[in-house]
Every structure is written in C-alpha cells, then in structure tokens.
Amino acid sequence: MTLAARLAPRLPPRLVGAGAALLYPWFEPELRRLADFCPRGGTAVDVGGWYGPWSRRLARRSDRVVTVEPVPHLARQLAAAAPGNVTVVQAAAADRTGEATLWLPPGGRGDRGVSSLVRREVHGTALEVRCAALDDLLEELRVTDVGLIKVDVDGGELAVLRGAERVLRRDRPALFVELEARIQPLGPVLSLLNDHGYTGWVLPRRTWVPLSSFDLTGHQYRRGHVAEHGLLRRTLAPHRRYVNSVLFLPSGHRPRAAPHLARCRRVLPAPW
C-alpha cells in the first residue's frame, strides 16, 4: 500500500480531497490542460471519481459535473466535500444497469484507486455494488449536453464506453480514458472509438501528439515500474513520466495548441 493510501483514511475528508486536487495535476499533467479539450459550460462526467481531483477541476469549467464512484466511503466523502455543481452517484459505470461485483485489494477500502469490476492479481476483496450504463444514468438525471467524459476504471473501460454509445452519438463529447496495456489489450477500446469516429491524442511531454504516432503499449512496458509508484512519489519526480491516458476527440478535431496533423512527424516514446 502506498503512503498516500495509508494516510488518507486517517485525515478529514475535506483535507484529503483538497490534497488530491493540489497534487493530482502534477501526477497527471493533462488535468492542468483542461482548456485544451474541455469546453466551458454543459455537463462533464467523471467516471471513477476517487477523491475528486478531476471533479473539482471540472466544476470550474462545466455548469454541472456528474461523478460516478462505486466505493461507498469514497462516494460519501465526495458528496460531502465536492463543489455545489457536482452530483455524486454511488455506482460502478458498466455496459448494463443492475448489480455487479466490485474488486478491491485484500483488506483494502478503495483508497489506492485500483478497484474494478475486472478482477486481477491485486484484488482480493469483493463488494456487491450498483452498476449503471451511462446512457441510462444520464437519462435518469436528465443530462443532454455532455461535453467531456473522463474514464478511470482500472480495466473496465470498454464496458463503460459500450454503456455510453447513445451519448457518444448524440453529444460527441471529448473522452479522456485511462488505458493500461498491462491490464487489458488496447485494441478493443481503440476499435470501438474508431467506429464512433474518434481520434486519439496523448501528451508525453508538453505537446499533444496523435496516438497513431506514439507507441503507447511499448512505452508502458518500458516504463511499467513507474506505474507501481504511489501518487506522492510520482508527483515529486515529474520527469518520470508514465503515459497511461488518452484523449479522444471526434475526427477532424484536435486539442488546443496541438500541431496540425499534416505537420506531425513520427513521434517515438521518450527513452526514459
């Protein structure tokens, strides 16, 4: 268990949320670049809210944020500490609506941020939770103007996206999706989003580059040891960049400040 995960249960929820909001943009620099891809106004959806670093930032740009978090105590803390325009839903996003088994580390409470509907070797504790397709959930909440969906579900990304296909066709939101080749093959997610007319972008350094020009799987296998480091350690060593999230935009769109595709050269992952 990382230092941050050990400390979090012992601190007041509002302090933990504020600390996560402060540190996380340095752990995940794309969060500092929201203006590049997140439109102002409308609704943003934060799937896998954890302690709320994305929800807090999104609340500054969007009229409304819907945060989906399946771990009970995290959902309660989010609801207690989130800005007033954030709606917290205690559920796991999936490709159906009903109940599902959520997997957590042995003896864990979900503080590490690796809980998932997809069981793997780090998991040992099972918890029955509500699950919901985003299409159904957003219809229930009467949301019709989704500008961004952020997905961090530790292996369940394909199911989340399948459960949001009506929203993808209707609103064409930007998608920010965590993808880990060590957990799930990337191909099914990339194929699904390609069929929906989306193009991927990554931020390995300071400039957005097309995913087609970046060997994401190779980079992750070479830098996999960095992924085992905790939030504090990776925040204090930002030069040890580990790219595990992809921005997807409707084809023909690109992040603000990104070079035009015609000028993009073949970009290989940094050798660090």
Residue 44, strand partner residues: 65, 148
Domains of the chain: 3-91+142-263 (3.40.50.150)
Question: Could you tell me the pTM of the whole model?
Answer: 0.85
Q: Tell me: the pLDDT tens digits for 84-113?
A: 999 999 999 999 999 999 988 887 777 777
Kindly provide the residue ranges of all beta strands, DSSP E only, lying in 22-169, ordered along the sequence.
43-47, 64-68, 86-89, 92-94, 98-104, 125-133, 146-151
Q: Tell me: the pLDDT tens digits for 237-263?
A: 555 678 999 999 999 999 987 666 544
Task: For the beta carbon of residue 26, count every other beta carbon within 10 angstroms.
Answer: 14
d(CA 109, CA 131): 18
Name the region of 154 (left: φ>0; alpha: ψ -120 to 50; beta: rest): left
